[in-house]
Structure 1
Amino acid sequence: MNEEYDVIVLGTGLTECILSGIMSVKGKKVLHMDRNSYYGADSASITPLEDLYQRFHLPGTPPESMGKGRDWNVDLVPKFLMANGQLVRMLLITQVTRYLDFKVIEGSYVYKGGKIYKVPSTETEALASSLMGLFEKRRFRKFLVFVANFDENDPKTMEGVDPKKTTMRAIFQKFSLGQEVIDFTGHSLALYRTDEYLDQPCMDSINRIKLYSESLARYGKSPYLYPLYGLGELPQGFARLSAIFGGTYMLNKPIEEIVMENGKVVGVKSEGEIARCKQLICDPSYVMDRVKKVGQVIRVICILSHPIANTGDINSCQIIIPQNQVNRKHDIYVCMISFAHNVAAAGKYIAIASTTVETNEPEKEIKPAMDLLEPIEQKFVSISDLYEPTDMGTESQIFISRSYDATTHFETTCADIKDIYKRMTGSDFDFAEMERKKQDIFGDAAE
């Protein structure tokens, strides 16, 4: 271990594993360590089920009705992949897809007045949906056509809208859309968690709605994908990529000290040895003195013996509870997967409800989601602090990832990865360059 590396990475969360993969592909010499005995850190999938009981300090062992403990892979952080999103692009370009199998999530639902409704995934569904009245549907359709054709480089498509100035609220007014349709569009299609977006320039919202519809167009049932055997497969896939390009991995390594000289990182001390480095990437838990707490997320993992009511008995779905429906500032999300994804014993379902904490009674806040899941066989409640770096790494060359937020997909994680990449290298992350690098090394084998 007493060697010199370009980059040392601490923690095997998804953000860290993708960055170590990218740095290895770029030809950097990478050492990746984790104090835990498993991959994934906060974004791990826990197996067997007995380990989950221990992790949440539940007494005893899982009842026999839960089947074999080894049949379970339970995600700590519930997220799906947008089929046309940045993480899928990273997976395809780096060919980490060869280590993974994905299934499409079978449906997306939105909560309105105590009931759940399917988010329309085709024009036919939209016209048949009981979410809006007939005239609303016509106006909504016009709005969707406008969004689909909108091109910020072609003024003809803009209908007098300035993408950098016109607010999203003004666009909704332009199409005379009512409050419920606005809620549905902002929260179920653009996937905003709060209503702050309404008074910001519309370009980001338009791009988010496009991402949703393009992702949906790829597979039809929903815009989301999920890997068989759980999300913990993702960091492991990128770790393999890093290893192929010469990266070194060490689990179960206690980190004793991050060694600094003149305010700059020069190495990491573990078990009495020092590995030297020029740059360091890590999650907040390794450098608590360089991060600040910016909030909390409550996540409740629920084991069910039945699909969620009113979803047509599908084996996977997402439910969005828009904040306006339950007098909150942040949306509540439910992600459900099941035995069909090799993450639970036969006939079992895992539903994970999550939201940003707003009060000192987080379990009360998440109750609307829990009511949709009854009866619940076993639940595991976690309240996690969210951290972001106070040190951006310019001087110290320590680059710290952000905690995984309450969003239901990986777009914010990808934004964090691109941000760290830019701070480390001084240049923007370029998907095309990444692809070329892989071709250089594999040549024809990359096909």
Structure 2
Amino acid sequence: MDEEYDVIVLGTGLKECILSGILSVNGLKVLHMDRNDYYGGESTSLNLNQLWKRFRGDDKPPENLGSSKEYNIDMIPKFMMANGALVRVLIHTNVTKYLNFKAVDGSFVYNKGKIHKVPATDVEALKSPLMGLFEKRRARKFFIYVQDYDENDPKSHEKMDLRKVTAKEVISKYGLDDNTVDFIGHALAMYTDDKYLDKPALDFIKKMKLYAESLARFQGGSPYIYPLYGLGELPQAFARLSAVYGGTYMLNKPECKVEFDENGKAFGVTSEGETAKCKKVVCDPSYLPDKVGTVGKVARAICIMSHPIPNTSDSHSVQVILPQKQLGRKSDMYLFCCSYSHNVAPKGKYIAFVTTEAETDNPEMELKPGIELLGQVDEIFFDAYDRYEPANKQDDDNCFISTSYDATTHFESTVEDVIAMYSRITGKNLDLTVDLSAASAADEE
């Protein structure tokens, strides 16, 4: 403990583990500590007995649910875009050798009271029951424009500079109606609100292209992949990576108190009477509660079922996005379902989550529209947690704090936070230019 490190990372949540892995690969000396005796922090995965203990105290799970150890239930469930930034991080760091992935079966959107497959190409737009005949034609033209768009080829720009023209202006050029814009913005481009409409359109078009490219990558029913045995495998894989590059890991370290000098700058971490010195501290909000502010609350229902979510083509793994306008809310709602096909439950069992940003004092009622789409549920657990964001000035105190996980069931915002933190910690941009066609990030079964 009496050594000096470039960075001490506190907490083994997914963001912290990705950062310690990348920082180690890039030559920094890293010490990684956690007050818990397990990996994953807030983003851990639980077996059935652990789930019962957490939510039901001393009760034992009923025997008809099967073996406890066959369950891997993520507390922060998220799928990954097959062509997205997290997959690029996995390939860039070679973490793929520690993990096996499988494509997710379905990607759906809730519209006018029904669940529909998300159309992502001009061909799918023409088949989609989401739109009437004339709207399909307009949508098809828009999808062709997006597919053909190339930042470096002015011929594909349709005389629009997407760094200046807003998303709303691009959409209005194709005359798309509000319902179409709703599913395109929230289920394809993955925005969590409608602020993107008034911003330059380039990011919006890139996000739509990412969805289509991810979908094409495995020719599956969705653009997502997910690790076998659940997300609990990810923090451990990055921990192994960090160790390979000289990172030091210490679990079950009580307190982990960050030490500050007279100028308010962090210079080390004390645990069990010993202080390890460092230049910078990276942590989740729970380690420095006086340097973060509350920015919201996530409400979640965790459901164990004996069938797939109805109206999702019997998908064993699926994401359904319920855009805010469809529910008369300010926030989208997300359904996430996984099953024995990804080794997170015994054969015949499905784990479904309904998640949203809480907007009232009664989050259980808020989740009702999503829960009603699940059909018969064997067991249901409700969870809620506050979301925190750093409120400190990193240059003043050398503390780099991650934001809490949001309600989304995909990793896009998580990785954006990690990449931004990496840049702030190192002063460099993370180069994620990897040849995705040459590197396979998934073990297709």
TM range (shorter): over 0.9
**Aligned pair count?**
433
Q: Deviations over 1:309-353 (max 9, x none)?
A: 112222111111111111011110001000111111221000111
TM-score by length of structure 1 reads 0.94
Give the AA of the match of 1:178: D
Partner of 2:147: 148
The answer to whether the 8 Å contact 2:295/2:387 transfers is yes
**How big is the shift at 1:121?**
5.1
RMSD: 1.5
Partner of 1:23: 23
**How big is the shift at 1:281?**
0.6
Partner of 2:172: 173
Counterparts of 1:267-416 in structure 2, within 5 Å, are 267-416=268-417
Q: Deviations over 1:155-200 (max 9, x none)?
A: 3322222212222111111001111111111111111121222222
SS in 1 for 2:345: coil
Give the AA of the match of 2:14: L
Paired with 1:23 and 1:248, the residues of 2 have a C-alpha distance of 12
**How big is the shift at 1:123?**
4.6
The answer to whether the 8 Å contact 1:16/1:281 transfers is yes
State yes or no: 1:190 paired with 2:198. no
The answer to whether the 8 Å contact 1:392/1:400 transfers is no
Distance 1:415 1:199, change over 3 A: same
Identity %: 56
SS in 2 for 1:141: helix
Give the AA of the match of 1:346: K
Paired with 2:394 and 2:120, the residues of 1 have a C-alpha distance of 43
Give the AA of the match of 1:232: G
Paired with 1:405 and 1:425, the residues of 2 have a C-alpha distance of 25
Partner of 1:160: 159
Partner of 1:439: none
SS in 1 for 2:395: coil
The answer to whether the 8 Å contact 1:283/1:401 transfers is yes
**How big is the shift at 1:124?**
4.2
TM-score by length of structure 2 reads 0.94
SS in 1 for 2:143: helix
Give the AA of the match of 1:228: L
Paired with 2:398 and 2:88, the residues of 1 have a C-alpha distance of 28
SS in 2 for 1:8: strand
Partner of 2:70: 71
The answer to whether the 8 Å contact 2:324/2:333 transfers is yes
Partner of 2:101: 102
Q: Deviations over 1:380-431 (max 9, x none)?
A: 2111111111114112111111111112211211111111111111121123
SS in 2 for 1:355: strand
State yes or no: 1:130 paired with 2:118. no
SS in 2 for 1:407: coil
Partner of 1:443: none
Partner of 2:49: 50
Gaps of 5+ in 1: 436-447
Give the AA of the match of 1:216: L
Distance 1:315 1:5, change over 3 A: same
The answer to whether the 8 Å contact 1:34/1:250 transfers is yes
Paired with 1:368 and 1:60, the residues of 2 have a C-alpha distance of 29
State yes or no: 1:260 paired with 2:249. no
Partner of 1:205: 204
The answer to whether the 8 Å contact 1:121/1:222 transfers is no
The answer to whether the 8 Å contact 2:307/2:348 transfers is yes
Gaps of 5+ in 2: 436-445
The answer to whether the 8 Å contact 1:394/1:423 transfers is no
Paired with 1:228 and 1:69, the residues of 2 have a C-alpha distance of 17
Counterparts of 1:232-243 in structure 2, within 5 Å, are 232-243=232-243
